[in-house]
Structure 1
């Protein structure tokens, strides 16, 4: 258990180290925050609108409860409303990541590459051509959004459990959502190394608790409006560090070798002026 906890903290630490890049490359990180700001604003508006609709959806889904005692009918519909809301939030967080990465693709690729250049071992994704890139991007987006929908549905069903459903749904959302985010965010570093989505899944499973620690922190920070804007480019840095760490590549910049001092002059011979 202690090993698993240390792995969780190690994964979280890889994500949090990405915040230091704001000091090293503020211009590049700011460019990465712009797509997150645009998509995040739209997603937040969508969540606010949907939050006012879940009560009506819950009532429409439970016509059989109209003849129940009002207390039990209300409890059922409140639980269903909370389950729907948690599922919507999970779906929006994961979809936010997928859409933001698609919109800001050039910026995030540059951020990931800058990390590799700084740490040594510059990797560059193989050239696929325009249509090859479009097909790959669409294929990955469909797979990732499909995973987001599946995760949202699972969280929604768990959220229906009486009394503890909401807490379980939020916890499960962080775990499953964190895993899905780890797969999404490592795409740039993985592409640069010629790794497919299936290859990334295998790589992330080699240290599953470390991957989970990274993903849970990413999920929780991307869940907070405003913070998500700053944290999105940070997540790309952290994901690149995660890939490097799992592949045994250095995650700290090489230190410059100390300049050797010139050899001391030999002592003068006796009687030399």
Structure 2
């Protein structure tokens, strides 16, 4: 049985293998620049954010400050790095789509089921990212609002972690599915049909996002891992009409 974490490891080794490394240069550079900018912004503003939100804690919950403070720290960090991942993938989407195509060709010996030109595929990849943002943002806002609900906000780190796993599974598994002209709604249906590898892969990519320096290659490795999972778990599921 193929495990999601195994797929990420295999994918990372694959993108670093001879003949594949040149396809990860552009996404690695994008990740490097945005990662450095995110860390600089976080170090500059995080203390102010924390103080602001602690002032919002109701007086009758002040006795729980010792518990609320670390939960708030974790929630803010999860939200910042999840946003970082969204922005990174939005910018790197055409490169990741191209990388997914080359990985699939290497693994299966044939290109994806896609008749679009390279230029058209790149434009469509950006459009697909906007579709994903339209799906993700309302759910992010809902979680953000729930963070103000007394009692519920204590569970926010778990809710953010589960949300991140699902969203990152969508983010990365969408690259091979888009290359094979699987619609966004059909992709979500396939992911739900294989919910366990979907969520464990998303959890693995969430953890990969947090690994300093190594995440520069783990994220492209996740794209290759998504292609491996696509071929193993999702490709042969029956399609639905667009």
Query: Fold-level match, TM-score > 0.5?
Result: yes
Take 2:123 and 2:217, find their aligned partners in 1: how far apart are those partners? 31
Take 1:245 and 1:89, find their aligned partners in 2: how far apart are those partners? 33
Q: Which residue of 1 aligns with 2:239?
A: none
Q: Which residue of 1 aligns with 2:90?
A: 102
Q: Which residue of 1 aligns with 2:39?
A: 44
Take 1:80 and 1:232, find their aligned partners in 2: how far apart are those partners? 31
1:88 to 48, 70, 76: 76
Deviation at 1:26, TM superposition (A): 2.1
Take 2:221 and 2:121, find their aligned partners in 1: how far apart are those partners? 28
1:5-25 CA distance string (max 9 Å, x none):
x7xx71221122112121242
TM-score norm. by structure 1 comes to 0.71
Distance 1:196 1:93, change over 3 A: farther
Deviation at 1:181, TM superposition (A): 0.2
Distance 1:198 1:148, change over 3 A: same
Larger-gyration structure (1/2): 1
Q: Which residue of 2 aligns with 1:210?
A: 197
Structure 2 unaligned runs (5+)?
237-242
Aligned residues: 230
The reply on whether 1:194 has 2:181 as its aligned counterpart is: yes
Q: Which residue of 2 aligns with 1:243?
A: 230
Distance 1:179 1:124, change over 3 A: same
Take 2:169 and 2:41, find their aligned partners in 1: how far apart are those partners? 24
Take 1:199 and 1:212, find their aligned partners in 2: how far apart are those partners? 17
Q: Is the 8 A contact 1:83 1:169 kept in 2?
A: yes
Take 1:181 and 1:13, find their aligned partners in 2: how far apart are those partners? 17
1:86-106 CA distance string (max 9 Å, x none):
222222232222211221223
The reply on whether 1:11 has 2:4 as its aligned counterpart is: yes
The reply on whether 1:141 has 2:130 as its aligned counterpart is: no
Deviation at 1:134, TM superposition (A): 5.3
1:78-120 CA distance string (max 9 Å, x none):
4443333222222223222221122122321221001111122
TM-score norm. by structure 2 comes to 0.79
Structure of higher RCO (CA pairs closer than 8 Å, 6+ residues apart): 2
Deviation at 1:29, TM superposition (A): 2.2
Distance 1:223 1:129, change over 3 A: closer
Distance 1:242 1:92, change over 3 A: farther
1:128-176 CA distance string (max 9 Å, x none):
588766544433333234444445555x4699569xx4xx544443332
Structure 1 SS opposite 2:17:
helix
2:13 to 20, 26, 30: 20
Distance 1:194 1:105, change over 3 A: same
Q: Which structure dedicates a bigger proportion of its chain to helix?
A: 2
